[in-house]
Chains A and B, each alone.
Chain A
Amino acid sequence: DTEVTQTPKHLVMGMTNKKSLKCEQHMGHRAMYWYKQKAKKPPELMFVYSYEKLSINESVPSRFSPECPNSSLLNLHLHALQPEDSALYLCASSQALWGPDTQYFGPGTRLTVL
């Protein structure tokens, strides 16, 4: 099974709402990633977890809060978002953070902030 699943597929939220995005993989991968992708742009790395510890935080605003409760799960908690945060949020995983390991992406969550 080489699948990364993400829920929900679509999310519409107001600027005062609190919501969470969920990502799951069962490939035994120890590195998990959150990306943000705007239309017609390449993905932008947000966070990386390696062995369930936050390894990379690309200066993301605090209204985005990642969480890695176990080696298979990755959450992204959203609070007080802005309309410009509307984007496709992609989760990915790989065997390890270091080295030439294939990165598997999920289908993404399409987020709209009103």
Chain B
Amino acid sequence: KNQVEQSPQSLIILEGKNCTLQCNYTVSPFSNLRWYKQDTGRGPVSLTIMTFSENTKSNGRYTATLDADTKQSSLHITASQLSDSASYICVVIDNYGQNFVFGPGTRLSVLP
């Protein structure tokens, strides 16, 4: 069964600290993996999209990694800011583009 798991479920960090969010998936065949940031009550915003051949992709203070062999991805946030408080959702799309498998998300809270 195609699944995406994320950890931790929630995370609290102090402003300025770094953190790493994890995503494990069983989706096959694999097309691409996406990380989204969603503020409460708003639509998700795309952070990164990674295909099979990409190991690392950055978007400002966000860096995503992908290990297609172990089917794991991580999202690293550097020098966190209060505005980083949001839910971070990992989505994996299969090779046929018919299945969009969403992870449950990680709720990040950045405190001053």
Contact = CB atoms under 8 A, between A and B. Distances in A.
B89 A42 contact: yes
A61 interface: no
Interface stretch (A14-22, A63-71, A93-101): A93-101
Contacts of A97: 97
B45 interface: yes
- Classify the interface of chain A: helix, strand, loop or mixed: loop
Interface residues of A, number: 25
A113 B31 CA distance: 37
A43 interface: yes
A94 B42 CA distance: 18
A59 interface: no
26 contacts: A41-B104, A42-B87, A42-B89, A42-B104, A43-B44, A43-B89, A45-B100, A45-B102, A90-B43, A92-B43, A97-B97, A98-B97, A99-B32, A99-B97, A100-B31, A100-B32, A100-B49, A100-B51, A102-B46, A103-B34, A103-B46, A105-B44, A105-B45, A106-B43, A107-B43, A108-B43
